[in-house]
């Protein structure tokens, strides 16, 4: 695996009632697919340490969901991360399919989720938790779409009302971070009320072209929308990571793996 780069975003908070007392950083990891940068991910861990984050957010697909799932590097990474940082994690389609189909994948999901929870990972399966960093109040939501939303052909519609039924509503004036693996539903996430969505899934569109952007998703969808970068809609933001790994189709052109760092100021 080629080495990853660090991509940095700045979120300036103008809300006087809920501003950080001083600037701080968080990191966002997505789509590791059980890749390791050095032994037990030592290079990735070192770079995360260099960033001195106050929290780690994870957007899913950290493993390879298969009959013989690959989870070792992801689990070892989370074991190390929880020794230093609060870690909030949502599932992607790889975790979800193992979760949804125990008849096919056996106890693989239970094993994985129990292990990372035992380290102290806040695994948010359509749940939310409160978090405070430098006096700034956050609510972190993990939203897990079922497999039908990941179909290759077409897009199953998702309404904000359905999200409300599944996970509730962002009712208070804290800053609402939504960990939602699939970026295609940004309109819905924004209408639901997310201040910042953290997503991945498309691996940047694997091949990135000037002007066009990402060419093809790992599910072979052409020109996937929101394949990487920062998107803003009526004050709602979404950061899409091109991910840290790859699995079946190991293809990245003009599209290095990335560690996302977000500065709040």
Instruction: Identify the residue among 34, 47, 61, 95 touching Fe ion (CB under 5 A).
Output: 61
Nearer to Fe ion, 122 or 182 (CB): 182
Instruction: For the beta carbon of residue 118, count every other beta carbon within 10 angstroms.
Output: 10
Binding mask 182-221 for Fe ion (x = CB under 5 A): -------------------x--------------------
What is the total count of residues that contact Fe ion (CB under 5 A)?
A: 4
Nearer to Fe ion, 34 or 61 (CB): 61
250: CB partners within 8 A, 6+ apart: none
Nearer to Fe ion, 53 or 92 (CB): 92
CA dihedral over 86, 150, 33, 45, signed as positive or negative: negative
Nearer to Fe ion, 32 or 163 (CB): 32
Structure tokens at 123: 């695994």
Q: Is 92 in the site for Fe ion (CB under 5 A)?
A: yes
Q: Is 93 in the site for Fe ion (CB under 5 A)?
A: yes
Query: Partners of 71 in the beta sheet?
Result: none
Q: Please give the Cα distance from 255 to 5 (Å, whole number).
A: 10
Q: Is 144 in the site for Fe ion (CB under 5 A)?
A: no
Residue nearest to Fe ion (CB): 201
As to burial, measured by CB atoms within 10 angstroms (0-12 exposed, 13-18 middle, 19+ buried), residue 18 is middle
Give the footprint of Fe ion on this chain (CB under 5 A). Answer: 61, 92-93, 201
């Amino acid at each position: 695996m080629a080495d990853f780069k660090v991509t940095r975003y700045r979120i300036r908070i103008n809300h006087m009632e809920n501003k950080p007392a001083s600037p701080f950083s968080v990191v966002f990891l997505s789509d590791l697919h059980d890749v390791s940068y050095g032994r037990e991910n030592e290079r990735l861990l070192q770079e995360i340490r260099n960033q001195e984050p106050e929290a780690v957010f994870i957007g899913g697909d950290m493993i390879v969901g298969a009959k013989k799932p690959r989870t070792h590097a992801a689990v070892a990474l989370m074991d190390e991360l929880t020794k230093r940082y609060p870690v909030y994690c949502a599932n992607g389609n790889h975790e979800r399919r193992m979760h949804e189909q125990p008849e096919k994948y056996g106890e693989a999901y239970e094993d994985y989720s129990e292990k990372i929870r035992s380290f102290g990972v806040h695994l948010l399966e359509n749940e939310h938790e409160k978090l405070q960093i430098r006096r700034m109040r956050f609510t972190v939501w993990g939203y897990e779409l079922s497999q039908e939303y990941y179909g290759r052909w077409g897009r199953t519609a998702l309404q904000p009302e359905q999200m409300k039924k599944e996970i509730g509503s962002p009712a208070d004036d804290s800053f609402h971070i939504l960990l939602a693996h699939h970026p295609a539903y940004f309109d819905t996430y924004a209408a639901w009320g997310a201040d910042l969505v953290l997503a991945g899934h498309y691996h940047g569109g694997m091949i990135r072209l000037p002007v066009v952007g990402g060419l093809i998703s790992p599910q072979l969808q052409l020109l996937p929308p929101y394949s990487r970068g920062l998107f803003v809609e009526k004050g709602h933001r979404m950061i899409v990571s091109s991910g840290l790994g790859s699995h079946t189709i190991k293809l990245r052109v003009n599209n290095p793996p990335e560690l996302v760092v977000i500065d709040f100021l």
